[in-house]
Amino acid sequence: MDVTNHIAKAEEALRKKNFDYAESMLEQVLSLQPDHGAARKLWCATIRQKAEKKGGGGWLAKLGASPHKLSAAVSGMAKSAGGRVRALEKGLASDALNANAWLELGEALLAANLADSAVAVFSTLGEAEPKLAQPWKRAAAGHAMKGRADEALACLERALKADPKDAEADRMRKNLAADVTLKKGAYEKATSTRELVKDAAAQARFERETRIHKTEDDLVAEERDARAALQQNAKDGRARRRLAELVAKREEWSEAERILQEGLAQDDNASELKDRIGDLQLQAVDREIRKLEGRLAAEENPNFRDDLELLRGDKRKLEAAEFRRRVEERPTDLALWFALGRVLAEQGELDEAIAAFQRSIKDPKTRSDSLIRLAACFQKKGLLDLATKQLEVALQEATPAGERGKSILYNLGLVAEQAGRRSDAFQHFSRIYEVDIHYRDVAKKIDALRS
């Protein structure tokens, strides 16, 4: 069936802001051709603009989406990829400003081998949320399924623009760029069958690394390639880091750490290796914590509980030491200051945490969270006027009716209560009550303050 007419009608309806008619036309197209990339992209634009015009999602939108999420879960258990896609489509249409809903639909489309539709969903989210790298990485995976290496590379570049420190995106981009260069020139320059076989091996490696769901055989092949590369060149930092990552997947933490430690004296990027070693040490502690939590859930034992608290304390100390090292080595990295402040605040090291957050508020990516956490530190120290000031600045940069805005207003209300400013507290809680009566215990707060 030729769907050109339906798409043209949908485009015209979208220009006139007739969202329901455009959505209806596009749903007809996608029911017949579920992997029609252009139709899916237009459908994404339609439901997004429709939601933005209505003022976004809230608890009503989430309530409307919840039956579809349940249906998607049932389809997932029944291994019905098509049914899961349809349910998630309906859920997203009801809650179209929910980033997780976009990611879930995109993953379902990939699982159903509807790569063009998945790319449309992920790229729409990436364009709407410029600070998110994940949508562009998954869009790259969709292009890879179709063998579109150049498009996949462009998506990975956008992922790194969103988050320059995304190690996975950086690794995928470097591997893909090398393989694309090799593939483009191989058949022109090949002088022997061996060179053509080498190109085929590189292409197979690229397809394996960008595959969405990797099999055990894929992981074994990747590990073999990484070990061979290291044996040929001990200074190959990329191969060393990938090998450690693969070994860590088997939870062989000490072996993974040994592989990285061996590279410290040879790798030009030793700082990244130190970070990886620190991450592995934290993962090992996390594993022991999960084990103890499981034993405690099965058997209430005071000794287990004591051991769990000791382990959690060890983890906090290890985190603090690790992030202190990182900010000492890279003092201009504001994201590291935020991470250090978070850890120190959890440990009760409030003065040092305040100093860290005062640096990280200069980073646009962590500014809002930094202001909120800085306010919490001031509140714990009893500096309530300073806490209020930070929260008021954060509120100016948030949407009061959004989840972040409501959280800030709620904290402002708590600080005002603590300071004995009942009228101010009532005003802050009332602003939440006006848009979301079910937010936390705000209804009880209003009743208590009124009485």
For the cut 90, the answer to whether the pLDDT of residue 40 exceeds it is: yes
Query: What pLDDT, on the 0 to 100 scale, is given for residue 409?
Result: 94
Domain with 39 in it: 1-129
194 is a domain residue = no
* Mean pLDDT value across residues 232-242: 79
- Per residue in 67-84, pLDDT tens? 444 444 434 433 444 667
Residue 333 has pLDDT above 80, yes or no: yes
Q: Is residue 444 situated within a structural domain?
A: no
Dist. CA 126–CA 145, nearest whole Å: 19
What band does 205 get if pLDDT is binned at 50, 70 and 90?
low
Asked if residues 163 and 171 have their Cβ atoms less than 8 Å apart, the reply is no
Average pLDDT of the residues in 383-411: 91
How many Å apart are CA 343 and CA 16, to the nearest integer? 51
- Is 287 part of any domain? yes
Q: What value does the mean pLDDT take over residues 417-434?
A: 94
Residue 63 counted as domain residue: yes
102 falls within a domain: yes
The domain boundary, picked from 330, 361, 393, lies at 330
pLDDT at 209: 53
Over range 183-192, report the average pLDDT. 47
Q: 272-298, pLDDT tens digit by residue?
A: 778 888 888 888 888 889 888 888 888
What is the domain-level CATH number for residue 34? Answer: 1.25.40
Question: What is the end-to-end Cα distance of the chain in Å, rounded?
Answer: 67
Residue 71 lies in a domain: yes
Residue 213's pLDDT band (cuts 50, 70, 90): low
Task: Tell me if residue 423 falls in helix, strand or coil.
Answer: helix
Residue 140 in domain: no
**Tens-digit pLDDT profile for residues 133-164:** 999 999 998 988 888 888 888 899 999 988 88
Question: Residue 76: what pLDDT?
Answer: 45
pLDDT-above-70 percentage for the chain: 83
* Half-sphere exposure for 156 (CA within 13 Å, toward CB): 23
Phi–psi pair at 258, nearest 5 degrees = -60, -40
Sole residue written with tokens 């439901």: 47
Q: What does the pLDDT look like over 310-330, one tens digit per residue? A: 988 888 889 899 999 999 988
Query: Does 107 have pLDDT greater than 50?
Result: yes
239, 230 Cβ separation under 8 angstroms: yes
Considering the domain architecture, whether residues 123 and 238 belong to the same structural domain is answered as no
pLDDT exceeds 90 at position 113: no
